[in-house]
Chain A
Amino acid sequence: MSRKTMSAAIAMAQREEMLRDESVYIMGLDVGPYGGAFGCTRGLWQEFGRERVMDMPISEAGYVGAAVGSAMTNMRPIAELQFTDWITIASDMLVNQAANMRYTFGGSLSVPMVLRAPVGGYMAAASQHSHMFESWFSFIPGLKVVLPSNPADAKGLLKSAIRDNNPVLFFEHKMLYDIPGEVPDDPEFLVPLGKANVVREGSDVTIATYAYMVDMAKQAAEILEKDGIHAEIIDLRTIKPMDTDTVITSVKKTNRLCCLQETWLTCSVASQISAVVAEEALEYLDAPILRIGALDAPNPFSAKLERYILPSVERIVREIREMF
Chain B
Amino acid sequence: MNQQQKLHLYREMLKIRKFEEMVKDLFAKTEILGSVHLYIGEEAVAVGACAAIRPDDYLTSTHRGHGHVLAKGADAGRMFAELLGRETGYNKARGGSMHLAAPELGILGANGIVGGGLPLAVGAAMSAQKLKNGRVTLCFFGDGASNEGTFHEALNIAASYNLPVVFICENNLYAGGVKQHYDGVFRNKNMDYPRKVKFVAERAKAYDIPGITIDGNRVEDVIKTVGEAVERAREGKGATLIECLTYRWRTHFEVEPDTYRDPAEVEEWKKRCPIVLYGQQLIEEGVASRQQLDEIEQDVIREMDAALEFARNSPEPDVSTALADVFAE
Question: B-contacting residues of A (Cβ < 8 Å)?
Answer: 25, 51, 54, 56-57, 59, 61-75, 77, 92-93, 96-97, 101-112, 141-142, 144, 165-166
Q: Tell me which of A64, A68, A165 has the highest count of chain B C-beta atoms within 10 A of its own C-beta.
A: A68
State how many angstroms separate the Cβ of B321 from the closest Cβ of chain A. Answer: 10
State how many angstroms separate the Cβ of B62 from the closest Cβ of chain A. Answer: 13
State how many angstroms separate the Cβ of A82 from the closest Cβ of chain B. Answer: 16
* A-side contacts of B111, CB under 8 Å: 97
State how many angstroms separate the Cβ of B325 from the closest Cβ of chain A. Answer: 4
Are the C-beta atoms of B123 and A67 separated by less than 8 Å? yes
In the bound complex, CA of A104 to CA of B93 (Å) = 8
Residue of B nearest to A62 (CB): B153
List CB contacts (< 8 Å) of B92-150 with chain A. 92-95, 99, 101-104, 108-109, 111-113, 116, 118-128, 130-131, 149-150
* A-side contacts of B130, CB under 8 Å: 25, 51, 70, 75
Are the C-beta atoms of A65 and B122 separated by less than 8 Å? yes
Are the C-beta atoms of B157 and A59 separated by less than 8 Å? yes
Are the C-beta atoms of A96 and B95 separated by less than 8 Å? no
* B-side contacts of A110, CB under 8 Å: 328
Given A61-B149, A106-B90, do A92 and B116 touch, yes or no (CB 8 Å)?
A: yes
* B-side contacts of A63, CB under 8 Å: 119, 153, 157
Contact of A105 among B94, B120, B123, B126 (CB under 8 A): B94
Are the C-beta atoms of A69 and B160 separated by less than 8 Å? no
Are the C-beta atoms of B153 and A165 separated by less than 8 Å? no
Are the C-beta atoms of A103 and B122 separated by less than 8 Å? no
Are the C-beta atoms of B123 and A65 separated by less than 8 Å? yes
Are the C-beta atoms of A141 and B124 separated by less than 8 Å? no
Are the C-beta atoms of B58 and A73 separated by less than 8 Å? yes
State how many angstroms separate the Cβ of B16 from the closest Cβ of chain A. Answer: 22
In the bound complex, CA of A63 to CA of B153 (Å) = 8
Are the C-beta atoms of A107 and B108 separated by less than 8 Å? no
- Is B275 close to A, CB under 8 A? no
Are the C-beta atoms of A141 and B127 separated by less than 8 Å? no
* B-side contacts of A141, CB under 8 Å: 326
Contact of B94 among A54, A103, A112 (CB under 8 A): A103
Residue of A nearest to B139 (CB): A69
Residue of A nearest to B125 (CB): A69
* B-side contacts of A25, CB under 8 Å: 130
Residue of B nearest to A66 (CB): B123
State how many angstroms separate the Cβ of B120 from the closest Cβ of chain A. Answer: 4
Can you list the 9 inter-chain pairs with the closest CB atoms, starting with the nearest?
A65-B119, A69-B123, A62-B153, A107-B325, A69-B120, A106-B92, A165-B328, A106-B91, A110-B328
Are the C-beta atoms of B103 and A108 separated by less than 8 Å? yes
* A-side contacts of B90, CB under 8 Å: 105-106, 108
- Is B154 close to A, CB under 8 A? yes
Are the C-beta atoms of A108 and B101 separated by less than 8 Å? yes
- Is B324 close to A, CB under 8 A? yes
State how many angstroms separate the Cβ of A250 from the closest Cβ of chain B. Answer: 26
State how many angstroms separate the Cβ of B112 from the closest Cβ of chain A. Answer: 8
Given A56-B157, A73-B108, A108-B102, do A165 and B120 touch, yes or no (CB 8 Å)?
A: no
* A-side contacts of B102, CB under 8 Å: 108
Are the C-beta atoms of B89 and A103 separated by less than 8 Å? no
Are the C-beta atoms of A65 and B161 separated by less than 8 Å? no
* B-side contacts of A64, CB under 8 Å: 119
Contact of A68 among B123, B153, B325 (CB under 8 A): B123
Contact of A104 among B94, B104, B156 (CB under 8 A): B94
Are the C-beta atoms of B124 and A73 separated by less than 8 Å? yes
Are the C-beta atoms of B113 and A62 separated by less than 8 Å? no
In the bound complex, CA of A151 to CA of B326 (Å) = 30
In the bound complex, CA of A57 to CA of B93 (Å) = 38
Are the C-beta atoms of A102 and B157 separated by less than 8 Å? no
In the bound complex, CA of A314 to CA of B19 (Å) = 68
In the bound complex, CA of A176 to CA of B113 (Å) = 37
In the bound complex, CA of A70 to CA of B163 (Å) = 12
Are the C-beta atoms of A105 and B103 separated by less than 8 Å? yes
* B-side contacts of A104, CB under 8 Å: 91, 94-95, 99, 101, 109
In the bound complex, CA of A109 to CA of B116 (Å) = 18
Q: Tell me which of A56, A65, A111 has the highest count of chain B C-beta atoms within 10 A of its own C-beta.
A: A65
Contacts A/B (CB < 8 Å), 5 sampled: A66-B122, A69-B123, A102-B327, A106-B92, A108-B91
State how many angstroms separate the Cβ of A128 from the closest Cβ of chain B. Answer: 18
In the bound complex, CA of A109 to CA of B327 (Å) = 11
State how many angstroms separate the Cβ of B140 from the closest Cβ of chain A. Answer: 14
* A-side contacts of B60, CB under 8 Å: 69
